[in-house]
Amino acid sequence: MTTTTTTTTTLYSWWGFMYGLMMGSLIWKCGSCFEFEHSQPLPLQDWNNNVTFKAAAAFAPPLVVGLTLVNAAASKGAVCLDGSLPGYHIHRGYGSGANSWLIQLEGGGWCNSITKCVFSKKTRHGSSHYMEKQIPFEGILSNKAEENPDFYNWNRVKVRYCDGGSFSGDSQNEAAQLYFRGQRIWSAVMEDLMSKGMRYANQALLSGCSAGGFSIYTTLRRIPAFISKNSQSQVSQLDISGWRTLRYMFAGVVRLQGMQKNLPRGCAKRFNPIMCFFPQRLIASVRTPLFLVNTAYDTWQIQVSLAPASADHHGYWNGCRKNYARCTESQISFLQGFRNQMLYAVKGFSRLKKNGLFINSCFAHCQTERQDTWFSPGSPHIKSKGIAESVGNWYF
């Protein structure tokens, strides 16, 4: 078996999901050359509400792929929050891609308290009983060469997310009947895929969106040696009230799921273990090549950790959260400060020739799973290159 040393990040971006905080002026090109394209942010665009483009885009109906449950997982305790079986969707590769594998990790946020996890276990992010039995494969998962030129004929897998902790926990709460078994789920899914041909892979790419992109950092030490990665990032940043909402959220996840023992030892010795759950700390121990796809104005992070309703006591950000065109000058300045912090956080990462980045200035989230942002005539471009082309150039 030949092995590769390539890896992808979040395409969830550094958000981690696995798709996070830094997208605007750092770019990667030519496989090893990093440069700053802009010293100022690009014009802001709300890709989530780009109605004009969506209406004009004439994409063919996507391939729909069924859910596969991992039946052997139960005996290993590899179960979702509610104790149900984990699962994934797979579409087989062919031709030149018959022995190539792309693993996409689903996102879905985190549950950082018993109350939230009890709620989650009655949703698709906590139980396979609520998962869609079929899902469309679009963007990086598309089976059409005109939509996904580099990976369309690979074995493409979407791993469902149902542990609430980025495949990183290994504990349980008997009183609430909650199972935090992310690590076991990851191992069980990998074993199942190896039995279905992945052990013969000659090249592979691990990718993720949002919390799935974040999972890449936490699973790197537990994957077959031949897999390379693609992920997302997140940065610890003060919210509009001066509180660290994201740090508080991650603290709950780490403690609830007993992750302290699973975090990189080198990081845990230097920092509070909670800080070692942030990608900019985790990434220091990663040796595999990574590619970050992220927007500098990630909509999830704006809504949930930078300007959440809980921090906006007087409703000052209501209009901006609902329509970014209505953000005031001071609000845009705050968001640009967030962008600058993200770019600073990836400076060291960007100096390594094995890594790559695509950081744009759209209001968006999970750009690799959407056809309109992954590869289309109107998708985000930096110096005439879109996301799909940039990732492909870096990988190959």
Q: What is the mean pLDDT of residues 144-162?
A: 97
Confidence of residue 21 (pLDDT cuts 50, 70, 90): very low
CA pair distance 62, 113, nearest whole angstrom: 37
CB contact at 8 A, 211 and 109: yes
What share of residues in the chain are helix, strand, coil (percent, to 5)?
35, 20, 45
Question: Which among 13, 84, 100, 210 is annotated as catalytic?
Answer: 210
Higher-confidence position of 118 and 22: 118
Task: Show the tokens assigned to 234.
Answer: 């997140």
Q: Which of these is catalytic: 89, 91, 125, 365?
A: 365
What number of other Cβ atoms are within 10 A of residue 381's Cβ? 14
pLDDT at residue number 5: 34
Cα(98)–Cα(92) distance, rounded to whole angstroms? Answer: 8
What number is the average pLDDT over the span 300-309? 88
Question: Do 239 and 245 meet the contact criterion of CB atoms below 8 Å apart?
Answer: yes
Q: Which pTM does this prediction carry? A: 0.83
Express each pLDDT in 222-241 by its tens digit.
Answer: 565 445 555 555 555 666 66
Beta bridge partners of 355: none
Please count the other Cβ atoms lying within 10 Å of the Cβ belonging to residue 383: 9
**210 in active site:** yes
Structure tokens at 169: 């926990």
Report yes or no: 391 and 205 within 8 Å, Cβ to Cβ. no
Q: Check 150, 192, 239, 298 and give the catalytic one.
A: 298
Kindly tell me if the per-residue pLDDT of 375 is higher than 90.
yes
Q: List, in order, residues 6 or more apart from 81 with CB less than 8 Å away.
A: 111, 117, 120, 121, 126, 127, 162, 163, 164, 178, 179, 180
Residue 314 annotated to the active site: no
pLDDT at 306 over 70: yes
pLDDT in tens, 60-89: 899 999 999 999 999 999 999 999 999 999
Asked if 361 is an active-site residue, the reply is no
Compute how many other C-beta atoms are within 10 angstroms of the C-beta atom of residue 102: 26
